[in-house]
Amino acid sequence: MHFASVPPASFAQGSMPGSRKAQAREVTSLPTTEAPQPGGLCFRPLTAEDLPLLQRWLSEGAALEWYALRVPPTAEAVSRKYLPRVRGEEPVDAKILLIAGQPAGYFQSYRLEDFPDHPAAAYAKRAAGIDFFLAQEHVGHGVGPRAIAAFVREVVFARPEVEICFADPAPRNQRSVRALRRAGFREVQGDDKSADRAALLLYIAR
């Protein structure tokens, strides 16, 4: 399989290419996912008020290294990238992870057919992709696997048309690869696993 592009997790990429404008949706309240998961995890929609927090998270530690690609984003860059997702102007489901009611990370999902440049686009039918980062204070404490599993179960597979979900971490981002495996993801068979690939493809089926 050919990996033609930087994965959409990349902050530097800005607004994802090939995206179709989604129907604007009004966010009038902040529904969280149904029952809090064990350990008090749940998700609520991203709001404009979260953007300064996103900027901070993207400027520190592991999120800076692996998600923002070592470039701390300006407030304007964060706004440019995430405000359209808050407003429902892009087909990206953007959520804040809450732990015991406190913001702890960012998770997003999207249908691959809306992003033909995604490394897993060949599998686009009935497929979704996810990206995520935790606030630095939560990195390395076992939150990620539980949060990924909860996000897939409660958000991604809540859309009945989605049957398979892909993640595309950098092969060198072993913490993410291992967190995904622990959350139940498996590597795509036959995919090139070399360390210098832009992305390693992992999937979980409904």
Residue 46 CB, nearest approach to ligand COA (Å) = 16
11's CB contacts (< 8 A; 6+ apart) are 58, 67, 68, 69, 71, 73, 77, 81
- When the beta carbons of 33 and 88 are compared against ligand COA, the nearer one is 33
Angle between helices 51-58 and 75-86 (to 10 degrees): 130
Instruction: Name the residue with tokens 């993207």.
Output: 58
Residue nearest to ligand COA as judged by C-beta position:
144
Residue 81 CB, nearest approach to ligand COA (Å) = 15
Q: HEC string of 156-182?
A: HHHCCCCCEEEECCCCCCHHHHHHHHH
- When the beta carbons of 31 and 72 are compared against ligand COA, the nearer one is 72
- When the beta carbons of 104 and 162 are compared against ligand COA, the nearer one is 104
Residue 121 CB, nearest approach to ligand COA (Å) = 17
Binding positions for ligand COA, rule: CB under 6 A: 9, 62-63, 66-67, 132-134, 139-145, 167, 169, 173-176, 178-179, 182
Instruction: Name the residue with tokens 């929609």.
Output: 45
Beta pairing, strands 164-167 & 127-134 = parallel
- When the beta carbons of 135 and 162 are compared against ligand COA, the nearer one is 135
- When the beta carbons of 47 and 174 are compared against ligand COA, the nearer one is 174
